[in-house]
Every structure is written in C-alpha cells, then in structure tokens.
Structure 1
Amino acid sequence: MTLETKADSPASSPIQWDPQSTELRDAFGDFLNAFEQFKDANDDRLSQIEKRMSADVVTADKVERINTAMDEQKRRMDDLLLKSRRPGRDGAPAIGASLTELEHKQAWDGYMRRGDTMELRSLELKALSRQSDPDGGYLVPTETEAEIARIMSEASPIRAIADVRQVSGASLKKPIATTGAQAGWVGEADTRPETSAPVLSEVEFPTMELYAMPAATQSLLDDSAVNIEEWLASEVQIAFAEQEGSAFVTGDGIRKPRGFLAYDSVADDSWSWGRLGYLPSGADGAFHASNPQDALVDLVYALKAGYRANAHWVMNRTTQGEIRKFKDADGNYLWQPGLAAGQPATLLNFAITEAEDMPDIASDATALAFGDFRRGYLVVDRLGVRTLRDPYTRKPYVLFYTTKRVGGGVQNFEAIKLMKFATS
C-alpha cells in the first residue's frame, strides 16, 4: 500500500485549507501597514526637527511605539514562518529510503517510546560496527538528523548565512592563502623572473559538544499519532539555536565555537590578515548627528566588490530600529521591508540578518557587521546526533539527552567588516 503524505496524497483528496498560511499572510500585511504608519510618523518627527530644532514629545513617542510594535510583529511573523515549514509526514519514512534506514528508523522509534535497545544493538552487530554507545546514547536516524539540521539553518541566524561543512572527525583543518600568487608584465623576449608563491596558513576548526535535554511524559510517547522525530527536532532546535546564535557571534572558542566578534579588530586603514577591520560611526556610542547614513555607505564600500554581491548586514533588533529612521538625500528610507513573508528586510538593498546576540549601540561597541558571511565565517558540523533516553532522573518524565558537535570561526578576514560606535 502506498504511503501518503501531505506532499504526495492522491489527486482525489480534497484540498485542505491551511489556517497557518492565512495567518502568516495576515501578519505580513499588518507588518507592511505598520511600516507605512511608521514612515508617516517619522516624517512628522523630522519635519518638526527641521522647523523647531526638536520634535514634539508625543510625536517622538509615537515613532518609538510603532517601531517597537514592528519588531514584535516581525518576531511573531518569524515564529509563524518556522511553524509553517514543519514537516507533516506523521512519521512516514522518506521515499526512496533504504532497507537499512527503515530498520534503523523503526528500531530507534522503539527505543524512544519504550526504551527497547535490542533492535538497535542487533543493527550494530549486523553492520559490524559500534557507531553508538549505550552509555552515550544512540545515533538518531539520518532523516531526523537532516530535519534537525534544516530547522537549525532557519532558526540560527549566522548558520543561515555562513558556510556550513560536515566532517566525520573531531575537527576540520583548512589551508588558507593569506596572500595571493604574484604576477607581472613582460615582453616577448624578456626573461621571466621567478615570482613569490602564495603564503598558506593552516587553520583548525575543532567541534565542541552542544546538548539539549527535552522531557516528555510516557503517555505522549505511547501515543502512536505523535511523530517522535518531529517532536524531538522541534524541541532541541530552540535550545540549539539559542546556544549557537550566541557562540557564532561572541563565543570565545573555549568549549564552544569562536564568534566573529571574538577576533581582534583594527581600524580598516591598518587592516592585516588575522584581524577584522572596522570603520567608526563618527560619534561616541551613536551615529553621527548629521548625515548618519554616510557611515553605512562607507561600510558598504569598505568591502571589496567581490564580497558585496552576497553580503548581509548583521545587527540586533534595537540597532535595526534606530537605522529604520534613516533617509537618503532624496527622502527615501534606507530600510525597506521584505517583498514577501519570510524574505529579509534590506538596508541599502542588502539583506539584513537579525542576530539578537549582537551588542546594542554603545560606546566603542561593534554593534553592526557587514560582509559575505558565506565566505567569511565557517560552521563545522560533525556527522551524527546522539540521543540517550533517561526515564529515571526526573520521574514521571522521560528525559532525552541529545547531543551534537559543532564548531565555527572566521575563515576569511577580508570578507567581514565591522562598524565601531566611536569617533575613531
């Protein structure tokens, strides 16, 4: 009998109305309407500043209230988008899955629901390998691992724009050319002097252990209608995404990935390999009072042309709320909402990635980053996600100690630039 899913149900099945997608469209419409109200209120505020050198308190408060409301609407829209992308297979195996994968999936389901390890151990003996240790948990099925990775790429902001590699070992060692090969012009009969070779440096990205421990009741596990794989993936993605998001931005590299803000930074005029270059905002702990948008334009063009095509802004919501008020010389707002639900807002036509672990605007804070993170930052995932079932520690709940190994760090120091909120 053919298995049916939401994606491959018979043509005769009635089309189901999806309230989630309707709610998402309504939320996006409300967000766009709020932005129009924000522009009107901010235009009034700027007009009052031009006429009276200051804005009315009521008008300024209205701008901030709408600005905050837009942030809340965007957060709600992001949550709805994640929920709408959850799978609806109700535990069905992937089409084209091998017999071994199906056996592993069935055995793992028995382990998760009842704590039965016999089938998993039997599969290990068949494969003449011991990929999992009963004391350290069992590897989740490939499909579940892929689902966790998919959700993570949507929920973890830096992972979504960075270069992601998978390894089977404890770390990834990557040779990087810190200087390119030299070349020169010669005549047809001139001698060809030897040119210097590129300078290579080996950089190692170790993987660190990241864990989550969701809990379930035995009644939930006994319910055959509950998709255990989907439940586990949705539970761990929250914990994993929060920890990753912080580590990829500010992590110190000790038992966690090294964030791009943890590297040394230097004024862009004095940039050298191994450090990130920054441009000053022009004021201590703020944008320059006159023409604040000029610092943003300067930051864009501080990045080499080859990196700008796939560049992203990275900032938190507070910084974005401040930049949302900026206009160009023609009176056009620099910040623009996405064209559809799920698409990022843009600044100077470059996509914005919201990372709440970025610092707020403050004295000497590097609260704004711009660059090609696909070439600049590397995320390393070690293959395999393990789960250990623990029905004893917090009875009557069953804990699922789930671990994965992940590392990260800057791989190209030219591809990312920072803005430091200082005068120099």
Structure 2
Amino acid sequence: MQIVRYPDRKNWKETLKRPAFDTSSLNQTVSDILNKIRERGDEAVIEFSQKFDKVVLDNLQVSDAEICEAENLVPDELKEAIRTAKNNIETFHNSQKVELKKIETTKGVVCWQKSVGIEKVGLYIPGGTAPLFSTVLMLAVPAKIAGCREIVLCTPPNKEGKVNPAILYAAKVAGVDRIYKIGGIQAIGAMAYGTETVTKVYKIFGPGNQYVTAAKQLVSLRDVAIDMPAGPSEVQVIADETANPSFIAADLLSQAEHGADSQVILTTTSEDIINEVVKEIEKQLPLLPRNEMAKKALDNSKLILLKDEQEIIDMTNEYAPEHLIIETADYMNIAEKIVNAGSVFLGHYTPESAGDYASGTNHTLPTNGYAKAYSGVNLDSFIRKITFQEISKEGIHNLGVTIEIMAETEQLNAHKNAVTLRLKD
C-alpha cells in the first residue's frame, strides 16, 4: 500500500483515483452476444453457457428436486445463519414502508401517491470465486416485501450443471419464484429480452464481473431498468489514536479480498496508526486463502495522512466511498458531517462484514463515486410510485385560471382548452 502524507487539496483527485474500470472495449463483444440471445433465445444461452462456463445444459431452470437436494447439502449451522440474516434484513427493509397520505393542495384538488411493486424483477447472483448467497437475501427479501409479483434469479452453474447449494437454499428462504442456471452476459440477456424458458423482467439487480457490468449497461439503454452503475468494491476507514490497528487491518483486508480491482483507503491524522496498520496487514495477509487477490488490490490502495479532522471529512465527501468505517472516539460527530457514502459503519465494533451479511442493511451499494448521486438498494428500489389526483367542480374553478394562463404562455392551447371547456360547464 502506498503511504501519502499531507496531500495538497489540488492533488486530491489524483490521490483518490480508483482502479481503471473501462468496459467500452468490451461493448462490441458483449453487444454481439446480447443480440444473438435476443434472436435465438434458449439455443444461444445454452451455446454460450457451454463456451464460457464449460457446461452442457439440458434444462436451464433449476428443478424442485434440485432445490430439495441442495437443502440437504447445506449444514444446519449455515441454514440457521441464513435464516437469522434473512430476518434482520426483513426487519430493516420492512421499516422502510411509508404511509402515503392524500393531500388537498387547493380546495377541491386532492393528490396522492400509491406504491406498487415492480411486477417482474431479475436477480443476478455471481457464483464464481465467491458464490454470493448473501446477495440473494439482500435482493430477494426487499423484492418480496415490495410485492414484486415475479422474482427470478440467474446464477452460473459449475461444470456438472449444479448450482451452489447455499444459493439455492437462500433463494428458497427468501421467496424466489424461479431459478435459472445461467451466468454472465447470457444471464443478463435472457432476463432483459426473455427466452422460451426465462421470464423477461422489468428491472435487473445484482453485482458481477466486467462482462456482466457491460451487459447491464447496454440492456439498460432501451430494454430494461437496472439497479445502479457498478464497479469494483471499495472501503474507506477513518481512524484516530483510539482505534485498534488489528481491527483496521482486518477491515481493509476484508474488502481487498473481493478482487484484484478493489480499493481500500485509510484516512487518519496519526502517523503511529499508519505504521501499526502496516505491521498488522503484513501479519494478517499471509494467513488469508485469497491473499494473492488481496495483494493485487492493495497495489491500488492508500494510507493517507491528513492534517486534521476537517480534511478527513472533506476528503471523504470527495471520495464518496461505497463503504465507510469510522473508528474514532467521536465517530457520531464525524458521521453527521458525511454526505457522500453508500453505507457507514460506526465505532470500533462495527465491521463492514456485518452489513455484508446480517445486520439488516443492504450490501448492494453504489461504487466508483456514484454515492454522490445514487442510494444503495433499498425497498424503494423495487417499487414504483404512481401519482393520483381528483379534482371537483370547486377545485377546477379554484385552479383553472392558473392552468389556463400557464398553458397559453407555453403556446399549448389544447391544454388550455381542456380546462376552459370545464370552466364553462
């Protein structure tokens, strides 16, 4: 990791530069595959599954028998952990329901909203180096609470055509309706366009590699909505002299092990903390099974020494981290001044891992600085809000002239006439 001491503000942009994640060079390849899936459906999906995942599939959909078989393969302690996490995620997302009231904006003019679940949603769950069964819970649980009528899930199988048992069990617990053994670009294409077997959905959720990311971006141009722009995972830690260096090192490494293109950052006013964290990383890193991947991520990462707390706050809001851990004595005071972050973890005993799995908050979050404009996945991500209005004779009398003046000024006389006729009536 690079140590950066007291960077000048004018150089912060370069200091905080993320690993390059340009998918433009992939777009032609991805586009060609998507077009073939749109044209040929299941046949193309099966062909690309054989090419990329090295698996020959007779049936794209996971059967009830396979789900039952998988349930028997999941250890009881993992089942209990999945159920506990599911309950916490459900509790937190249930709390996001909002009562929408009818409002009389002018006498006789009543307006209101109704929340409606997106009818058909597609969940993409990676199954490669790390089968993310936790993401099944993060996406399917709020979808169920929102009232989505159809929840479908795509995840890549292994070379024997089997899906990871924990993914299947989590899908069953969370209420997924249909599961397909499809990964990569072909999964995104199948959900975006629909095939003979796969349901066409209205919005696609979930993380993935650069090919999945490029596919999601391309289909979102005209065919289907997506959750958010996505990039490599990242974490920033704010720490002071009260922080435990071993905790900080563990938090940084827990994010670094996601992938070689991940980024982790420490911001502090303490040179001693930086030195101790470096020692702890050197101690903990060799013990990790994914240490080679974490090492590559650390090449993209920085330990940044700043002058004071205000500089830390300003740099954090400029960086807009996906995950932010504040391990300081006055963490609540700092947290109040943070305006750009995906999810924030407060105090010495709140690891980012808690949000990844079981505290209840969602781990599908904006990366690459998008936290300046995007929220992480939440209940509203699965909901559309439809507005209604009801105007009485008294209401059109009270508001009509205002509408007429505005419509006429915009030279939209048919708009004006729709009001004028009612006023005359």
Specify if TM > 0.5: no
> Which protein has the bigger strand share?
1
